[in-house]
Structure 1
């Protein structure tokens, strides 16, 4: 099932809401044939405008529950078995038409024996997760980081002398990082052409509410105590 936006435009959000629809953002990545769920984790200012930051969580790298359909059992694992990969790995056999396994950089949030067989891996959440930054009123994408790692299996081949001593392992071979930052001049244009008008609208609305409250209170006092 195709679910989520195309990662170019998002609906306006309200930071602080507790409903599941307002704290999660779903996108569909055609590169990996998979939906990605971002969870809103922070809200602050970004170059003069308020933003919402949503990060990718470990639940995206599971092959069970709602993600059980991604357990296709097409690419043999490290032992040559066709089984579901543990958390942290996604079988790209159908998507890429090749025996490739997807993970986060440095196999972040991975489980099983794969990470232990590779030396030099230093997974760090801040450096290796994906996230997006949105304007909370317009849903405009201000910044994004999409990070993925492609892995292949390395196995011994007895009939080839140079490979028969290889140890079975999942070998990282490509780390892809796509970065997007909206330029300062474009952000300034959004702020001047739209955000200031919204701020003026808020001021007018609250002013009208205040005037209405005072007027209503005065009328109520006059009706309840006409002598005074």
Structure 2
């Protein structure tokens, strides 16, 4: 199976790129409006399985930073999309010996960063999801439309009790790389965000470390069915 992967960040793409064919990783840069067209391009280029890979926000209490979410389904508003059960089972078996914290459940789709504990609680109550990201909804919809299998592998960065300061959002470029000068400018305007930015950076680093361990465990076997 030829795998097409969609990530939000360049750092996520760097981790997964060695597991798939050259050119089969698309980066949204946190723009949900790009996600659908990027997924469609991957499918048009011959990808026969889709993966949402990257970091996510936690929605359920107790799902800690660094936990790997192996989603059973994706919830996007009133719609629910089941991930491929056979693929989930095989990947879960490959990850078992790694000693990772793994959580199963739903991932909610969002068009924007869900930044506060209150907003996370509302979304969790509506969706029943344990995590949220900005790419999985487009992937799930494309998979349903085309009949392709899809998988969601997401590591929790900010847990349900964390608040993401506005400076985090302005620090992302369209190509998925970080813009430290934009973050610095935001901190100059509102220095009270500093601790929140530092916590967010630490949480993201923890989540990326989980993704690296996941990538090592899966190796080139990610697309074997």
TM-score bin (small chain): under 0.3
> Which entry has the higher C-alpha Rg, 1 or 2?
1
* TM-score (norm. length: structure 2): 0.25
Greater RCO (CA < 8 Å, at least 6 residues apart) = 2
The TM-score with structure 1 as length reference comes to: 0.25
Which has the larger share of helix? 2
| Structure with greater strand percent | 1
